Structure 1
């Protein structure tokens, strides 16, 4: 089987190699010092033997590995696992810094006329250049920004296995590498940097990677908030400032234009209760409180610093009447600042904001205000006061000062408000049905809602939605489930009163399959005053989530039927005549396989675009993507541009899940780059690709045929092969993952082991750990086999043309290319040996191997590559560099699983399994 092509390290990548060697050497020295020379020698011996096994699937190397690993004590095994795990983490840091290094080098090259290079793909500079070249008018561009929404939504799915303690140390290492890279250091400074690296790596070595207790929802909220400190608070305002400056440089007419805040943050952490019994009204309230406290804490600190900077004396500068009024109303009466109106005004703003924090229930702020002042009633008043400072500075010769900290703070407040991130509610439609059934039965006994036809359900729900009368009564008792659901929507209504409507703007309905699913949620919102029948107002977007293959195929019909209801359309007008729809990548993949999931998602978007256009409703798509390709992951820029024409109408929301959050946003430079990618791709897709015609008919027919074949093969394996469920549980670490303390949500929706009930996240995570990566490719090989057999003359040529000409097919195959490059059939074969039933093993694994081999062979032929990742040499080198350190973790994990499943309940064995899960996830980077 063709492997990734080896090639010489280009000069531009030499700094990466040097950083990896430096970090590896320091880690090796740390292991020698802490654990002894013998431990280090075993690490090296395992690595070298693993390389032989990886390269040739050498049986001698396999036996030698098993001999070495079987001879290790429990304590020594965990030392070795930790060594390889930390090397993977350190290699990730070096790679991230190299991406930053190359971005800076490209930007600096573009700044010099002699070496000018075009802006890089995925940057706002390039997007604006393309827009300008296409002749898009300023009016069209302003219209885009006025209505645009780009929103990454952080979720707390259980694949992030790193603790904040280790992330903080890794960030310290990244900062030291950046310092070495950007400065010419004296020998003494270089020595100090290396000493700092040694301290940080030693701290990592002596810090537990694992959590001893399972995370609670509030722990997940706090983990999510840390990325605001790492990246979002500072980098989001910088993205806006850079974009405004680029527009002004492109056309002086933009110089006085301040863009609306179209790039915002969202969250599910504390609001997503689908299958998570720990997300209650109290959890929602606590999540919102913590978010608000984080936002106001940042603003207060920035105000304090701003006051230190704006020491302008009114004897030397003019000041606007607005600022004089703010200074006069300030409780600051210090004689030292009597001639410094900006400082006194800012002191007053600080006092008002501190009072606001107190009124919202925050604990004492870090610095007390100098005196009492009234709290702000809303965030708009705070923005107005900051704008008064801005206008005065600009009008009186201090425009440069307005462009510094004040500019960034004004933008931050406009983006984050008093709520920080928009927190979505989410619940499963099955729960809604049970709750609505009980509400009707309590209010009108004998209704029998759950037994009604869809038509009669819709009629009953619409009748109830037309009246302001409530179904609930304080004098009736409700089941715990119903009481909890009602408490959630009432808490959301309270959040609107406290923080503004942007705090909880969306209600996502999982497993939406009928119009009644949307109307049931509307009924619950009405009970809390979030939907007002008389006014025809809905204060929350209701977002149906279509996530199974069947639901994707019918989503156009569902929305068509919904828009045919005048009562619902009337409510929709209060939401700007726009409707958000969420598409589920994870569950559709688990339901129908990679190829069919991707194709049905694409077709669903085409259907939705047509239905929404016919009804005159604006479409906003919410993409429920995970980190792995099996859950819709892959490069965001290419994914957005690969959407069908008209699917990106200036607005897009995308989930950011699991370990991908840390990978994208713990490093501020990378975080800014990833935020910019989302904005740039949305801009390009909306203004440059919105009118693109549908793909050629022969492309569509070919994809339909491929999908149909892949679907049959995938379903035959996963859902129709007797014993496959057992094979999955025994050949992967899914059982151990279910008990790892990496999230508050259970691995399955029920207590069963059925594939249907398993969440998509651990399903993909389990296959990634055993290096088979099945959700990212299975069925493709058989589908192409069938296609070529049916079209022997030009079948391959057409698929090659589709890859060259069709962005959707390009993205699909490029993602598969990456997944297959990270897979390893030799290692997967060792996991297969964990299946106790030899007949079951022999019935299934050869099928997996054949499909893997066929998939690679056909993929290379269609992409016209000699080896996997020929078109992505940087990723190919990354994978090649880390395999010698990643593969041993798999071998060690297998040995520990054997011990554990044979009855060895020693805590060190369990700990070793969990450590190996961490290390493999780090090495693969996008496994969950």
Structure 2
């Protein structure tokens, strides 16, 4: 560990990649010859071509003229597709090598780990405070199926086995796995169903989180809190199968099936653990109890019909009886191994992960109209006949006092039927998996009190007058964030909702969406808007004695709230409530940060420690000064105005439609839900999902959402000789430094030479230049602000990893841009080019995969 991290990267990652890649490109598969030999030449040719300011078409034409002379058009197309195949697999190889070197690259007992936090607390005489804090602090990582990466299960298995073989330097197995990798398909002809997505993510729960989380929980018990720990500290949420927002394919039955799959998978793990344990605790009394419990677990895990009720409490009761016998009669032999299983049952209960239900507020409003209309027409005396014609304030008052119930089957409207069905599913899941199995209803695009009261009403209408479930508003847009505290104050003083909160221990979870916030308001405003919204929500919640828990909808790249997560949470300071750290984990972030036991444990510990650091070691720091807060406000406002002007440019949406890969995201079959919310063929910005929006900029290597407006905002201070004010903010605010570092990552992953040809385009040339100028402006000012000579100077290993990945995918992006240019050319020429267009469109779609997957280090 004394060796600099950049040197360890060169030795443990880069050198191994070069060695194993040289083996990989010599392995023929699917009767392909020469592809592996030509790809390094093509890669060098792309780099040299862009250095000479050539466009992608010129680069590819020159390559064929120089290296593959007299090739037919069919041969050229075939070779380009084979290059894509190889590059996809090179990305996997690099992933596996980085996974294998994780413990070498990261200090598993260093900063941000629990051992480090424990030692820091002891050194500062804060061990008792640490213990008390862990009795109430929690983290929740929520796995989503948002399609920012999608490896088939077969490829995930190869990555895992390849990583293990690389750790063992087992060259024979490595060669076999590379050959297997070469012949294994990377894409599917059909979209996965929501259930398919759930099964794919349950693999991580079963094989990674189950072991890593229990290891952390056991460490806390053994080394910090002792057996008196009554807090789970760490738990996990789950969206596939419950997230209905914009996904018409999620049904009530799928929700129930996913919850049952979670429970059965968990019970299989318990069964396997107990079966191994039974081979050791072969003592009178204990062994018989173990075998009886083993038989019960087998029945519930593997049989279709659960013959007898089973609860986490009943499992724990048996395990504690066994533990008592080991202690009292058998000298505590193997009691530590039994305690590990007890810890797992305390953590995961019968639910494994908490399944969240989510739907859009606009859908809820239409559902409410349908329910009112149908129940009134059927003569049910639930709503006043004129409800739909009353004001919003009157509707809130009516919903506050509402009584009565309906079944999903009573409502013929399809969406209303599904909405009520999902709530009845919540109740059923709680019966089978326990309350933690499904106890949160999340409202996307929440902008008003009525939005919350409508969802709250749906719960009560489903014969659930005292719901054992929480209503979670998700504030996303700049306007919604501005109103969030006023919305919540009204709810806190609403008699029905206040009574509900009282039954829920006066705890209110509020979700804030980085992804759509950035899409709506730009990078600075989204982050600062969420920060200040949290401050106001903290103040108003404390005023009404409500414990507010913030749940962040964060993505992988900085443009979607990702980046250096530990630094972000540790930087929030004392003005924001942080009793829990809750965030979404998705796509490449799942595989890169939580894909192995070592990386999962390390990154979960980083999340736990971020809350502890903020509470115990930085809480006494002064919040932002009045001057620094004024600077941040001005920066956010100026960047917001700049971004909104950019977003309102007449070329903005046409540029995305015609020059980017936006419309091809829907064809990748990596996610079950549509790529936009609306059904209209016309592209409407508000319907556009954040993932294809941010992803399309990433494919262009322009990464606009991660920096646009930042440079202009800082330059405004520079022009007025007030740059020192921004410098003061950077020097005194860890939050601002985290924003700047994450924006630097977006800049580092931009490469404008790829699309420099666009500046000559008659329609979009000026628009491309606007983006490029903002990139140059932002880069110059961030280097000036930080004092760095190059971007990400403080993170050389991550910078090197990004550089290698960018080098791997540059040929792929060159092919993608070539195909896009060919599509544009054919669309302007007369004649029937349908067959050729389909080939090039397939080339664009296929080239998306490698670049999406290569972006895993963006979190």
Q: Same fold (TM over 0.5)?
A: yes
8 A contact 2:524–2:639 mirrored in 1: yes
Residues 512-553 of structure 1, C-alpha deviations (whole Å, 9 max, x = no match): 111121111111111223432xxxxx3001100000010011
2:669 is aligned with 1:741: yes
How much does 1:859 deviate?
0.7
CA distance in 2 between counterparts of 1:266 and 1:571 reads 22
Pairwise CA RMSD of aligned residues? 2.4
Which residue number in structure 1 is paired with residue 421 of structure 2?
487
Which residue number in structure 1 is paired with residue 830 of structure 2?
none
CA distance in 2 between counterparts of 1:567 and 1:508 reads 19
2:716 is aligned with 1:822: no
CA distance in 1 between counterparts of 2:57 and 2:492 reads 61
2:362 is aligned with 1:430: yes
How much does 1:280 deviate?
1.5
CA distance in 2 between counterparts of 1:48 and 1:457 reads 66
* 1:595-744 to 2 correspondences below 5 Å: 595-690=524-619, 692-718=621-647, 720-744=648-672
CA distance in 2 between counterparts of 1:30 and 1:395 reads 61
For residue 804 of structure 2, the aligned residue among 878, 881, 888 is 881
How much does 1:234 deviate?
1.4
Which residue number in structure 2 is paired with residue 308 of structure 1?
279
Query: Where do 5+ consecutive residues of structure 2 fail to align?
Result: 66-70, 378-383, 827-832
Q: Aligned in 2, Cα 1:450/1:731: closer, same or farther, shift over 3 Å?
A: farther
CA distance in 2 between counterparts of 1:60 and 1:442 reads 60
Q: Aligned in 2, Cα 1:805/1:400: closer, same or farther, shift over 3 Å?
A: farther
Residues 246-272 of structure 1, C-alpha deviations (whole Å, 9 max, x = no match): 32xxxxxx5544453220111011111
Which residue number in structure 2 is paired with residue 341 of structure 1?
285
For residue 460 of structure 1, the aligned residue among 389, 394, 398 is 398
How much does 1:690 deviate?
4.2
For residue 144 of structure 1, the aligned residue among 124, 133, 136 is 133
8 A contact 2:661–2:699 mirrored in 1: yes
DSSP 3-state at the match of 1:656: strand
Q: Aligned in 2, Cα 1:448/1:839: closer, same or farther, shift over 3 Å?
A: farther
Which residue number in structure 2 is paired with residue 330 of structure 1?
none
DSSP 3-state at the match of 1:771: coil
CA distance in 2 between counterparts of 1:880 and 1:434 reads 48
Residues 890-928 of structure 1, C-alpha deviations (whole Å, 9 max, x = no match): 101112233445345466544433331111122222569
8 A contact 1:585–1:631 mirrored in 2: yes
8 A contact 2:371–2:411 mirrored in 1: no
2:852 is aligned with 1:914: no
How much does 1:133 deviate?
3.8
How much does 1:11 deviate?
5.7
CA distance in 2 between counterparts of 1:377 and 1:83 reads 50
Which residue number in structure 1 is paired with residue 733 of structure 2?
806
How much does 1:128 deviate?
2.2
CA distance in 2 between counterparts of 1:101 and 1:453 reads 63
Q: Greater shift after overlay, 903-912 or 422-431?
A: 903-912
Residues 684-721 of structure 1, C-alpha deviations (whole Å, 9 max, x = no match): 22333445442011111111111111111111111x21
For residue 500 of structure 1, the aligned residue among 413, 430, 434 is 434
For residue 147 of structure 2, the aligned residue among 153, 158, 162 is 158
8 A contact 1:356–1:376 mirrored in 2: no
Residues 407-462 of structure 1, C-alpha deviations (whole Å, 9 max, x = no match): 32222222222221100111111122222223333444664444432321211111
How much does 1:390 deviate?
2.1
DSSP 3-state at the match of 1:619: strand
Which residue number in structure 2 is paired with residue 413 of structure 1?
345
CA distance in 1 between counterparts of 2:633 and 2:441 reads 33
Which residue number in structure 2 is paired with residue 796 of structure 1?
723
DSSP 3-state at the match of 1:200: helix
Q: Aligned in 2, Cα 1:263/1:60: closer, same or farther, shift over 3 Å?
A: closer
How much does 1:52 deviate?
2.2
CA distance in 2 between counterparts of 1:606 and 1:927 reads 27
Which residue number in structure 2 is paired with residue 292 of structure 1?
263
8 A contact 1:648–1:686 mirrored in 2: no
Which residue number in structure 2 is paired with residue 781 of structure 1?
711
DSSP 3-state at the match of 2:101: helix
CA distance in 2 between counterparts of 1:788 and 1:447 reads 61
2:225 is aligned with 1:230: no
8 A contact 1:433–1:450 mirrored in 2: no
CA distance in 2 between counterparts of 1:924 and 1:475 reads 45
DSSP 3-state at the match of 2:234: coil
8 A contact 2:9–2:797 mirrored in 1: no
Q: Greater shift after overlay, 773-782 or 395-404?
A: 395-404
For residue 784 of structure 2, the aligned residue among 843, 858, 861 is 861
How much does 1:40 deviate?
2.8
DSSP 3-state at the match of 2:673: coil
Which residue number in structure 1 is paired with residue 452 of structure 2?
518
8 A contact 2:208–2:596 mirrored in 1: yes
Which residue number in structure 2 is paired with residue 219 of structure 1?
196
For residue 389 of structure 1, the aligned residue among 322, 328, 338 is 322
* 1:541-560 to 2 correspondences below 5 Å: 541-560=470-489
CA distance in 2 between counterparts of 1:673 and 1:478 reads 50
Which residue number in structure 1 is paired with residue 63 of structure 2?
68
CA distance in 1 between counterparts of 2:763 and 2:536 reads 42
How much does 1:28 deviate?
1.6
8 A contact 1:353–1:376 mirrored in 2: no
For residue 266 of structure 1, the aligned residue among 237, 242, 247 is 237
Aligned structure 1 segments of 4 or more residues deviating by more than 6 angstroms: none
* 1:104-123 to 2 correspondences below 5 Å: 106=107, 119-123=109-113
CA distance in 2 between counterparts of 1:231 and 1:774 reads 34
For residue 58 of structure 1, the aligned residue among 53, 65, 76 is 53
How much does 1:677 deviate?
1.2
How much does 1:605 deviate?
0.8
CA distance in 2 between counterparts of 1:511 and 1:8 reads 42
How much does 1:149 deviate?
2.3
How many matched pairs? 832
8 A contact 2:717–2:726 mirrored in 1: no
Q: Greater shift after overlay, 452-461 or 419-428?
A: 452-461
CA distance in 2 between counterparts of 1:53 and 1:399 reads 70
CA distance in 2 between counterparts of 1:702 and 1:121 reads 31
How much does 1:203 deviate?
0.5
Which residue number in structure 2 is paired with residue 365 of structure 1?
none
Which residue number in structure 2 is paired with residue 771 of structure 1?
701
Query: TM-score w.r.t. structure 2 length?
Result: 0.92
8 A contact 1:437–1:449 mirrored in 2: no
Residues 788-834 of structure 1, C-alpha deviations (whole Å, 9 max, x = no match): 223x1xx222222322221110110000111111110111324677x
Q: Aligned in 2, Cα 1:909/1:731: closer, same or farther, shift over 3 Å?
A: closer
CA distance in 2 between counterparts of 1:50 and 1:703 reads 41
CA distance in 2 between counterparts of 1:134 and 1:612 reads 31
Residues 764-803 of structure 1, C-alpha deviations (whole Å, 9 max, x = no match): 111111111111001111111222223x1xx222222322
Which residue number in structure 2 is paired with residue 367 of structure 1?
none
Residues 75-132 of structure 1, C-alpha deviations (whole Å, 9 max, x = no match): 21111112222222212222232232233xx45xxxxxxxxxxx52221122223333
CA distance in 2 between counterparts of 1:210 and 1:60 reads 29
* 1:175-194 to 2 correspondences below 5 Å: 175-180=164-169, 193-194=170-171
Query: TM-score w.r.t. structure 1 length?
Result: 0.86
Which residue number in structure 2 is paired with residue 240 of structure 1?
217
For residue 297 of structure 2, the aligned residue among 318, 329, 353 is 353
DSSP 3-state at the match of 2:401: helix
CA distance in 2 between counterparts of 1:832 and 1:69 reads 26
CA distance in 2 between counterparts of 1:672 and 1:417 reads 20
8 A contact 1:646–1:686 mirrored in 2: no
8 A contact 1:648–1:685 mirrored in 2: no
